[in-house]
A and B are shown apart, each in its own frame.
Chain A
């Protein structure tokens, strides 16, 4: 039994079958990549996992519980954190505040009317956030406004915001999309470091094979909304079906 079990998920948009009978099992403490050509349904699948979309049929079980019909914040409270393609952070807030908010969410749940207490008296939360920032080498930027951060720093910050919640599963949606090669490598290093330090379960949706093969332990190949194969990176590399799916995108 994996920590995330997707069984027979279907999703149609009008006449388009975006996902057809998708099965997926993500094992605990592994890095599982979901790859596939553009339009293969990767993002649709991800949105079904985090509560943005509801599949027409099938089941999505996380940690023994169904996530279907739950709102994104409820699913996050179950232990799934998500990193977006373009970093989603609180741009009007300082770096440290960005990290403190997920700490509050983890401690206080989806809502708590703590309107009289002062943020500055929350020593524990601040320490937690500072430790996290130190982990991603951003402690020196803690009082900066996020608007002035570089793109790479925004990505690190978003990662920190997810990790500080100590998620059971970290979902990454094309974390290196649109990045230069150097940035991509930095991100890979960061992810690897996180993996080593925290031994966290990750599911990565990715387009870039370089990223996938330098990190993933399991790979699921999606094509036209259906999983083609699921195997180890070594086996995937030479797989004829995968070559076929990627024909014309000869990065493999």
Chain B
């Protein structure tokens, strides 16, 4: 089917279904219920799932398949966003210009950074990419102010040329007049589901990105990338030049990040240098590890898990904790809340750090490996198949 084998096609259908039905699937709790805080089916969060899903899918082609750990991918994300906002400023708010521009600009930047960084491997490569990203951040923050508007951040002003913007055209991002902020709310019993144009744009790109990644994984090119990760020396003596392969992988991951940056600017037409800061790159790395490096579905799981944590855990207050643990004896309640409080709200990064360490230590394969282990527990009799069929490293 569409160039995929049966197993991959099944996985692809699942991802399609999850992406398209996310507004329903992620809102399992009725609006009035106590659990409604845990609903994730609102547009802003779902957009993040999809956008970071795209970044990490691309990153996974570089890190997961090829084994090059980049600590600078936020630079491409930021570059993509800047390019998109510039398209709004120069042409119009139609994202049909902004998104291709963000992909192209990020692609060009990745050619330059990749070409230089890939002269080294291992930790040196990581440090080089980190240095480039920090440089991009510093440049965007101060030196390139005419282009990036420095600290203030780049946004569209009334006196911008916007040459393709006709009379009365929408003054926010749209696709041929379809406002990306349009949304429809559907009430079903106690539940409420929100369907937003912007999210569906992201979801469609996520599906495309995922499809491309399956094709790359299963292609001879993907096999070469895995060979590079496995044994570059042997590959050299097999008549294959690793550099163009690694560069291609680097650029592909840069294009994915650029697309994501463009989508960010499509959801919210402004951007700033902080999108390039190295902690952003670090977060991409975290997502990719948490989900499962080198697996197909891992990036989506990782991006989803971290964005969910950041949205939900960071919104938990001490009052929430009190209401959940109020049934405990007072002294125990005090202890439990004292222990848990640093992990929620503003402290959610602590949760993130702890979870991340536990994953690296005990579950190097990330959530996908975790899923496989659980799957094996339940299906001892049957021959073990990977859930999602994506994680077997060699296939």
Contact = CB atoms under 8 A, between A and B. Distances in A.
A246 interface: no
Interface in A204-248: none
B221 A114 contact: yes
B339 interface: no
Contacts of A89: 231, 234
B165 to A, nearest CB: 37
B302 interface: no
A118 B4 CA distance: 8
Contact of A118 (B218, B230, B238, B240): B218
Interface residues of A, number: 40
B226 A119 contact: no
B241 A73 contact: yes
B239 A71 contact: no
Contacts of B237: 50, 72-73, 76, 81-82, 84, 88
B241 A101 contact: no
A88 B231 contact: yes
Nearest to A94: B394
Contacts of B5: 118, 120
A101 B229 contact: no
Interface size class of B (residues with CB under 8 A): 20 to 34
A102 B240 CA distance: 8
Nearest to A101: B227
A133 to B, nearest CB: 16
Contacts of A179: none
A89 B233 CA distance: 9
Contacts, number: 116
B394 A115 contact: no
B235 interface: yes
Nearest to B252: A115
Given A93-B226, A97-B394, A113-B221, A118 B239 contact: no
Nearest to B61: A115
A73 B238 contact: yes
Contact of A114 (B220, B227, B234): B220
B114 to A, nearest CB: 15
A90 B234 contact: yes
A106 B239 contact: yes
Interface string B1-13: 0011100000000
B271 to A, nearest CB: 30
Contact of B238 (A92, A119, A161): A161
Nearest to B243: A111
Interface of A: 50, 71-73, 76-77, 81-82, 84, 88-94, 97, 100-102, 104-106, 108-120, 122, 145, 161, 165
Interface of B: 3-5, 215-216, 218-224, 226-227, 229-231, 233-241, 244-245, 248, 252, 393-395
By Cβ-Cβ distance, the 6 closest A-B pairs, closest first, are A76-B239, A115-B221, A105-B239, A110-B241, A90-B230, A88-B234
29 contacts: A73-B237, A73-B240, A73-B241, A76-B236, A76-B237, A81-B237, A81-B238, A89-B234, A90-B227, A92-B226, A93-B394, A97-B394, A101-B235, A102-B239, A104-B240, A105-B240, A110-B241, A110-B244, A112-B220, A112-B221, A113-B248, A114-B219, A115-B222, A116-B3, A118-B219, A119-B219, A119-B220, A145-B394, A165-B239
